A = this chain, B = another copy of it.
Amino acid sequence: MTEKTILIVDDEQAIREMVDFALTRAGYHVVGAENAGNALALLTQFRPDLILLDWMLPDISGVDLARRLKKEELYQDIPIIMLTAKVEEQDKVKGLEIGADDYVTKPFSTRELIARIKAVLRRSSPPEKEEALTVDQLVIDPRSHRVHVSGNELHLGPTEYRLLHFFMSNPDRVYSRSQLLDRVWGQNTFIEDRTVDVHVRRLRKVLSDTGYDHLIQTVRGAGYRFSAQVIA
């Protein structure tokens, strides 16, 4: 998967650093802004997957900023978690009313913060397409995360599974090793092209018991192709 980017908007440097440290360790990419103006400027530069917004900011209040973002079509889909020192029910309610997706009360544990971030991201990420794909007797079913050929389950490692799923979703088309790395491994991976060969080999090996390894064809000088047509 791709790394998620989180924008933390808080005027206290200590908080930003703490959050940065915790979230980075949890595998997120963190960008900080110390006030609303900064945050807005940054938003024109890139699109975070989630925004952590302090309730009180020196220029525009976090509440107003949230309200503003939720009004703009471009930004309204970015989930927001409010950070607040206040504990009153009123504020909590207000925060949620303006469209924040959750709120965390200071002081908070990094564990809670991470848990809430995960929950919000999970809720807001679109459900994946989970149609089962079939080629002849070969079936890959994302819902059960299973691959089987006429009743016999095939065991694939995570990478081989993704590779096969990608191939079956995009049949009859050649992909270079680099393209496969981008599409199957993710965009920011730094892996040798030849590694793809190894995984193709592993996938073919599993498929070979049932003869379906022929579906994965080598296109010399170009890459690999998955062909839905069963070649005798």
Contact = CB atoms under 8 A, between A and B. Distances in A.
Interface of A: 33, 37-38, 41-42, 44-45, 92-93, 96-97, 111-112, 115-116, 118-119, 122, 143-146, 148, 151-153, 157-158, 172-174, 178-179, 182, 187-188, 190-192, 219-222, 225, 227, 231-232
A221 B160 CA distance: 12
A153 B151 CA distance: 32
B231 A190 contact: no
Closest 10 CB pairs of A and B: A115-B190, A158-B221, A153-B231, A41-B96, A145-B174, A41-B93, A144-B172, A38-B93, A145-B219, A145-B222
Contacts of A182: 119, 122
Contacts of A33: 93
A144 B227 contact: yes
A178 B93 contact: no
Given A119-B178, A153-B231, 7 more contacts: A111-B192, A119-B188, A122-B182, A144-B172, A144-B173, A146-B225, A157-B220
B96 A178 contact: no
Contacts of A119: 178, 182, 187-188, 190
A172 B143 contact: yes
Contacts of A118: 178
Nearest to A113: B190
A176 B183 CA distance: 22
A38 B91 CA distance: 10
